[in-house]
Amino acid sequence: MLAYIVRRLIAIPFLLLGVASVSFVLAQMTKGDPLAALVPERMMSNPEIVNAVKAEWGLDQPLPLRYVTYIGNLLQGDLGTSFTTRRPVSTDIAERLPATLELVIAAMIIGTALGLSLGLLSARFRGTATDGLARVFALIGSSLPIFWSGLILLYIFSVRFSIVPGTGRLPPRVTPPPDVTGFYTIDALIAGDLSLFTQALAHLALPAFVLGWAVTGIITRIVRSS
């Protein structure tokens, strides 16, 4: 086991280098000129402005040199600057990461709870209608594309019947809780605001269920067969 762990740890840097290299190559192969996001259309005909922007962003360098610069910046933790926000990419990621983690953790809790429950039901009542219904429910969740099931459930439970709120982490005119963990649900509890916690949880419920439903089928099959 120790040798296996050591081999895996040694392989991680090479795996990350491979992922970064493939990402770089795919970005270069993608159609589209990055200058279109940097230079207004009316100034694209001005060679001085275009050349200055190319020099500023390193777009005038040969491709091998751009790759070396890209890998070197990654090794230093420099992910570059966003063309959209004009801020460091690492800053944008850090700002949005808590929302992603909160959603992922909630989805894993829901998916695990559903998968264990349905797997136990299927195993206990193997070959019965209960077994069939549980397996079908789990199969639907793991078979449907997440973006499609998300839109359908959003239409049914939010637009059509108004059971859960729509998009966003909180209602539009509600002030977020003081930032402690970045998780709105936890930060609302820390602030002692149960009303805000309820609103944050309500906004989290549907997207967390959709993502959790996608892994329910896998967990159900594992538990049932075990």
Please give the single-letter amino acid code of residue 78. Answer: D
At 181, is the pLDDT very low, low, confident or very high (cuts 50, 70, 90)? Answer: very high
Answer whether 212's CB lies under 8 Å from 149's CB.
no
Distance CA 222, CA 226 (A): 6
User: What pLDDT shows up at residue 42?
Assistant: 79
Please, what is the Cα angle at 88 between 84 and 91, to 5 degrees? Answer: 105
**For the residues 125-140, what does the mean pLDDT come to?**
90
Q: Among 83-87, 110-114, 154-158, whose mean pLDDT is lowest?
A: 83-87
Distance CA 129, CA 40 (A): 63
The whole-chain average pLDDT of the chain stands at 90
Distance CA 81, CA 172 (A): 28
Please, what is the Cα angle at 181 between 106 and 186, to 5 degrees? Answer: 50
pLDDT (tens digit per residue) in 73-109:
988 888 888 877 888 999 999 989 999 999 999 999 9
At 153, is the pLDDT very low, low, confident or very high (cuts 50, 70, 90)? Answer: very high
Answer whether 169's CB lies under 8 Å from 204's CB.
yes
Does the pLDDT of residue 152 top 80, yes or no? yes
User: What pLDDT shows up at residue 107?
Assistant: 96
User: What pLDDT shows up at residue 119?
Assistant: 93
**For the residues 210-221, what does the mean pLDDT come to?**
91
Q: Could you tell me what percent of the chain has a pLDDT over 90?
A: 55
Distance CA 70, CA 127 (A): 56
**For the residues 17-26, what does the mean pLDDT come to?**
91
Q: Among 24-33, 140-149, 150-159, 166-175, whose mean pLDDT is lowest?
A: 24-33
Answer whether 82's CB lies under 8 Å from 89's CB.
yes
**What is this structure's pTM?**
0.76
Give the per-residue SS3 of 49-72: HHHHHHHHHCCCCCHHHHHHHHHH
pLDDT (tens digit per residue) in 22-72:
998 898 887 777 777 778 777 878 888 888 888 888 888 888 998 999 999
